Chains A and B, each alone.
Chain A
Amino acid sequence: MVCPSLFSIVTVGENMAAHTSRAFLSLGRINVPGLGLHKSVSRVTYSTGLSTDSSKATTGSPQKGGKKVLSKKYKREPGDPRTELMPVDQDWTAVYPVATPFIPDAIPLPVRMGCPVKGGAPPEKKGNLELIKIPNFLHLTPAAIKKHCEALKPFCTEWPSALDTDAKCDEHFPIKVETKSYVSAGPSIRNPAARIVHLSVKLSSLNLNDQARKKMLKLVGDRYCKDTDILTITADRCPLKQQNYDYAMYLLTVLYHESWKIEAWEAEKTVADMEEYSWEGSLSQENILDVLVRMKEAGEGEGEEVREQLLGRREVQEYKDSVTRLKNEGENESTMLQYKEAVKKVLKL
């Protein structure tokens, strides 16, 4: 522990040894054993490294203050940042013609980026590394894009004048292929998501008869939307877009040809496989004919003719319509009501 008084001794000593260039000061502490540390008596010892006889021949005394007078180098004053000098209606594409990192003095926007100081704002743009690190699209403003388009126009061809409505486009070009391409600021221009190809076509534009259409719907499953009648084939199993496009076209061709083929086992299609309910040959038909025969509606007759006659009746036709509607559309109040009325008429209630 150093006694405060020692400091005063030290300062005096320094003044005294001021003419020396260097003075080493060492403080020694003498431990008296048995007395404890706090009672140690310290003695100050001086030792000077260099000779005390200092020569005044070197530079002027530092006591006088004033450092060495260095030769004054010319330092240019930084002027106003370029943003102050930019007119409002300038051509921005000239300021940023290509992809360039962020230059705070060239961009007249008070942008801030980074983590805000507590109770304060994020750091300003001047000297902001965060703004420089990130990619910017200042070279792709709408004005720049317009210029690009103008430059590309000489290489484009006219839209065919005959295809002026959507309907005509659908009629001549029923297959629509949708792909996405991706642009990003990074070292690589590849993006694996760009290989996906969606091919959509309206089934009404394909030449399919009833059986072929049903088979196509069964083959295709979820890919068909009933409301818009559009079949969408999505291909993404190949690494390249062109390969996926070829695969999708191949799938469409195969589906079309397969749905036209009739296999031998398709004759075993049961009632459970049918897509929609058909009344002919159903249990409902049997029931109603049975009932009417027992009610002796048709008068005396033999099998087939009686059935034919009954089937031709208007009430039976209405009943048939109501049952078909009920089974195909599902139940709601209106279908139920129609069914009720039809049954009442048939049973003559």
Chain B
Amino acid sequence: MLSMYFNIHGGSQQQEAVAAESEPEPLSIFRTQENDPACQSEKHFGQYYTLPSAHVRTVFPHGLPMRYKQQVKTFNEACMMVRPPALEVISSLKKTDNSKPAVRYLFYGLKGSGKTMTLCHTIHFCYTQGWLVLHVPDAHLWVKNCKELLPSSFNSSRYDQPLQATEWLRNFRITNEPFLSKIKTKQRYVWTKRESTEEGSTLGELVDQGITRVKTSSDVVGAVMKELRLQSGQPESDFRLAVAVDGVNALWGRSTIRKMNNTAVDPEELTLVYNLRKLMKNDWTGGAIITTLAQTGAVYTSKYSYLPKELLGEKGFDSMDPFIPVSVPNYSEKEFESCYLYYMDRHWLQYPHSRTEDGKKELIFLSNRNPSMLERICGFH
């Protein structure tokens, strides 16, 4: 049994010190030992599997939701629930044909129903299978709160966002370390009169160029995307590309960034968004595009909208069409039971009242089995 010490100063976010290393745990109904997403199946529905911490550091430097990151720090383990929407997409991904154009998947659902977590689950699968993961954690960050907006050197009608681009390149480098030395560029890129990246240089050099020379980082991002798009699915390249975008409705929405003359910037005029939109089209082969809708960080959208057409808009829907919409609902009864037992096991539910049947009914009533609501409420119970 794991023994844990924790200091009670009321409330959430406490550090736990694991006193003894875990011996093989007794079989618990809410956990599964199957930590490889490729081997998970329907019988693991509702059960939590543990992500190895090495994976968490590499695959998700920037992808996990904020509250989940805090939970990982508190519980000292990263456990994710196996749910039907994720497994559906994973089984489709297993059957993808490298020669066919990339299929687009879109997770949609109510606020807090687990779309980002499902996306992370699928990304974990892609990583374990050795795919190259191009993960944009929140496309909304690229269309709002831009501190520095430069006119693009490549195309004067577009705008660069160096800060966002460098940050993304850094995280991309952490995730895809092994591929950086394997993939070679097929084209020569000239950045300034004196700097250029020759044909045949590795992707790693390209990425470093972007991180060191901050001014050109947005164009580097565009170059990286172009290279990967052209090369994936080709007979000579041995990697498969998984493009994962959270909050894809930001690409076709409105932005809050304003130009110097106080007119709003269309997302199309941003280099990052323009290049990402090109990736979203299914004119390349050998991979998959997995996306999520997000209202949480969206600007100029109603709080209650969650359906694809209302968040994507006409233009977005027509660009994404044909895609496979996958609904991510609130917890089912079984999943709720599993989550409840997990929190009990982690001693997250501290009051004795929550151990009773009445307490459980209260939790169901207050949260309506919505995952994020349940997580917040359990912090107070």
Stretch at the interface among B155-163, B208-216, B321-329: B321-329
Contacts A323-B321, A336-B327, A347-B322: A294 and B95 contacting too (C-beta < 8 A)? no
When each residue 284-317 of chain A gets 1 if its CB lies under 8 Å from chain B and 0 otherwise, what string results? 1001101100110000000000000000000000
B324-A331 in contact (CB<8A):
no
**Whole-angstrom distance between the Cβ of B291 and the nearest chain A Cβ:** 14
Q: Give chain A residues whose Cβ lies under 8 Å from the Cβ of B321.
A: 283-284, 287-288, 323
A294-B101 in contact (CB<8A):
yes
B309-A319 in contact (CB<8A):
no
B318: CB under 8 A from chain A?
yes
Q: Give chain A residues whose Cβ lies under 8 Å from the Cβ of B285.
A: 294
CB-based nearest A residue for B101: A294
Q: Give chain A residues whose Cβ lies under 8 Å from the Cβ of B309.
A: 326-327, 330-331
B100: CB under 8 A from chain A?
yes
CB-based nearest B residue for A342: B322
A344-B308 in contact (CB<8A):
no
A94: CB under 8 A from chain B?
no
Q: Specify which of A282, A291, A331 is in contact with B282 (CB 8 Å cutoff).
A: A291
The size of the chain B interface, using a CB distance under 8 A, is 20
Q: Which of A283, A332, A333 has the most CB of B within 10 A?
A: A283
**Whole-angstrom distance between the Cβ of A323 and the nearest chain B Cβ:** 7
A340-B101 in contact (CB<8A):
no
Q: Specify which of A327, A333, A349 is in contact with B103 (CB 8 Å cutoff).
A: A349
When each residue 220-246 of chain A gets 1 if its CB lies under 8 Å from chain B and 0 otherwise, what string results? 000000000000000000000000000
**Whole-angstrom distance between the Cβ of A220 and the nearest chain B Cβ:** 26
A347-B103 in contact (CB<8A):
yes
**Whole-angstrom distance between the Cβ of A345 and the nearest chain B Cβ:** 11
B199: CB under 8 A from chain A?
no
Q: Please classify the interface of chain A as helix (H, G, I), strand (E, B), loop, or mixed, using the class held by over half of its residues.
A: helix
Contacts A283-B318, A294-B283, A295-B100: A349 and B323 contacting too (C-beta < 8 A)? no
Q: Give chain B residues whose Cβ lies under 8 Å from the Cβ of A294.
A: 100-101, 283, 285
Q: Specify which of B95, B308, B324, B327 is in contact with A343 (CB 8 Å cutoff).
A: B324
CB-based nearest A residue for B318: A283
Contacts A294-B101, A295-B100: A333 and B318 contacting too (C-beta < 8 A)? no
**Whole-angstrom distance between the Cβ of B107 and the nearest chain A Cβ:** 12
A194: CB under 8 A from chain B?
no
**Residues 273-288 (chain B) with a chain A CB within 8 angstroms:** 282-283, 285
A346-B322 in contact (CB<8A):
yes
Q: Give chain B residues whose Cβ lies under 8 Å from the Cβ of A295.
A: 100-101
Q: Give chain A residues whose Cβ lies under 8 Å from the Cβ of B310.
A: 331
A102: CB under 8 A from chain B?
no
**Whole-angstrom distance between the Cβ of B301 and the nearest chain A Cβ:** 15
Q: Give chain A residues whose Cβ lies under 8 Å from the Cβ of B101.
A: 291, 294-295
Contacts A291-B101, A295-B100, A331-B308: A349 and B95 contacting too (C-beta < 8 A)? yes
Tell me the bound Cα distance from A283 to B308 in angstroms: 17
Q: Which of B95, B285, B322 has the most CB of A within 10 A?
A: B322
Tell me the bound Cα distance from A291 to B322 in angstroms: 9
Q: Give chain A residues whose Cβ lies under 8 Å from the Cβ of B283.
A: 290, 294
Tell me the bound Cα distance from A160 to B103 in angstroms: 68
Q: Give chain A residues whose Cβ lies under 8 Å from the Cβ of B100.
A: 294-295, 347
* Given A319-B322, A333-B327, A340-B325, 20 new contacts (CB under 8 A): A283-B321, A284-B322, A287-B322, A288-B321, A290-B283, A291-B101, A294-B100, A294-B101, A295-B101, A327-B309, A336-B325, A339-B325, A343-B322, A343-B323, A346-B322, A347-B100, A347-B324, A349-B92, A349-B95, A349-B103
* Interface set of A (CB-CB < 8 Å, partner B): 282-284, 287-288, 290-291, 294-295, 319, 323, 326-327, 330-333, 336, 339-340, 343-344, 346-347, 349
* Interface set of B (CB-CB < 8 Å, partner A): 92, 95, 100-101, 103, 282-283, 285, 307-310, 318, 321-327
A-B contact pairs, 27 of them (CB 8 A): A282-B318, A284-B321, A287-B318, A287-B321, A287-B322, A288-B322, A291-B282, A294-B100, A294-B285, A319-B322, A323-B321, A331-B308, A331-B309, A331-B310, A333-B327, A336-B325, A336-B327, A340-B324, A340-B326, A343-B324, A344-B324, A347-B103, A347-B324, A349-B92, A349-B95, A349-B103, A349-B324
